Chains A and B, each alone.
Chain A
Amino acid sequence: MASNSQATSRLYKETLLTGLWRENPVFRLLLGMCPTLAVTAAVKPALTMGLSVIFVLLCSNIVVSLMRKLLKPHLRILMFTLTISTFVTIADLFLKAFVPRMSETLGPYVPLIIVNCIIICRAEACASKNTLAVSVIDALGMGAGFTLALCVLAGIREILSTGAIWEVKVLPIGFVPWAAMSMPVGAFITLGLLLGLVNLASKKKT
């Protein structure tokens, strides 16, 4: 009995770590690129986006996992998208009500969480096959991995484009801001270089 619970807890830990690093949705699976590039001009919107994705991912994984025995194969994608869009509507209304300015900055990228491949991918690959507990842990791990990637990218871009992080100045006054970093160009190139770095780092380890 004791070893059994130990095995389960190890499974949970594995699932969590898989989402955080080994299969990090952004750096490894290249999923959810649109929000990754679009909202990472600064750390604050990136964190808001990450938290919204965690919320939607968690709720949709729970619902999908609960109804996994009722799903018909040819209708499942439709059921996933319907579940997801319901929770995205909730998240969008919540943001509009409590942080209206942030909701304006994020604009249509909040509703675009519906077509974020990470969420459908987790519903399909994990929640529709596993028990509730595993799905919840998986959602937390994947969501945290996504948020982490977003914040790293946003941190680099915000420092270089304004000399500040979380809107607090960190670089000396003589620093000339790189305007290009806050534009689409900066997003594409920073992510490209980061992916290269991650590839390099993971190759050294093995």
Chain B
Amino acid sequence: MDTINILLMGFISIVIINNLVFTKFLGICPYLGVSGRIDMAFGMGLAVTFVVTLSGTLTWLIDHLILLGTPLEVTRYVCFILVIAGAVQLVEMYLRKFFPALYESFGIFLPLITTNCAILGLCLFINLWGIDNLLEAVVLSFGAGIGFTMAICIMAGIRENLNLADVPQCLKGAPITLITAGLLALAFMGFAGMIR
């Protein structure tokens, strides 16, 4: 019961309270880039969720089974980025072979994910927070993906309506998106301190 409680709290906290986009500024590039339409945003969110769960788990395993306590710790970043690039490549090959329709809909997003800071960032944060339980690492990685999906979908919904609004010429595009994101971050600050 206790473990379930901890896992649930961890999940909620990473989705809402410590949302990677609004509090840690991770994954801002795709957040600005592909939040124009809600279906594309959802596709990107799903792809990120998938890769981040996979790579979060894999990097935790590598960190704890191989690197920790050995001089190899120096190579941590190199290992992490290799794992992420490998995971993205694997996912891409797997999807192309077995789910061609899904692969088509992800399109260019899949390779782009390699340089999505949300993924490497989450792996580093798991390492930084000293998570020493595989299950917790899996739940946190999955939650981070869900949080990203939620953030990018909210943003896409707002931007679809923003197209109809009268925005000053010089603020069109990225600036107004950033300001909207700021207001969203302000709203999400209301959740701070809800857990612990």
Residues of A within 8 A of B (CB): 30-31, 33-34, 37-38, 77-78, 81-82, 85-86, 88-89, 92-93, 107-108, 111-112, 114-117, 120, 180, 183-189, 191-193, 195-197, 199-200, 203
- Residue numbers in A under 8 Å from B185 (CB-CB): 183-185, 188
Asked whether A188 and B182 contact (CB < 8 A) given A34-B26, A193-B175, A196-B168, the answer is yes
Count A-B pairs with CB separation below 8 Å.
120
Q: Tell me whether B121 and A108 are in contact (CB under 8 A).
A: yes
Q: Quick one: CB contact mask for B105-143 with A, threshold 8 Å, 1 for yes?
A: 000000000111101110011001000000000000000
Asked whether A78 and B85 contact (CB < 8 A) given A86-B78, A185-B186, A192-B178, the answer is yes
In the bound complex, what is the Cα–Cα distance between A121 and B10 (angstroms)?
35
Chain A's interface: helix, strand, loop or mixed, by majority? helix
B61 within 8 A of A: no
- Residue numbers in B under 8 Å from A115 (CB-CB): 81, 114-117, 119-120
3 closest Cβ pairs, A-B complex:
A188-B182, A192-B178, A192-B179
Q: Tell me whether A112 and B115 are in contact (CB under 8 A).
A: no
Task: Select A33's contact among B28, B77, B78, beta carbons within 8 Å.
Answer: B28
Task: Select A38's contact among B24, B77, B82, B189, beta carbons within 8 Å.
Answer: B24
Q: For residue B187, give the distance in angstroms from its CB to the closest CB of chain A.
A: 9
Closest chain A residue to B20, Cβ basis: A34
Asked whether A89 and B179 contact (CB < 8 A) given A31-B29, A112-B124, A196-B168, the answer is no
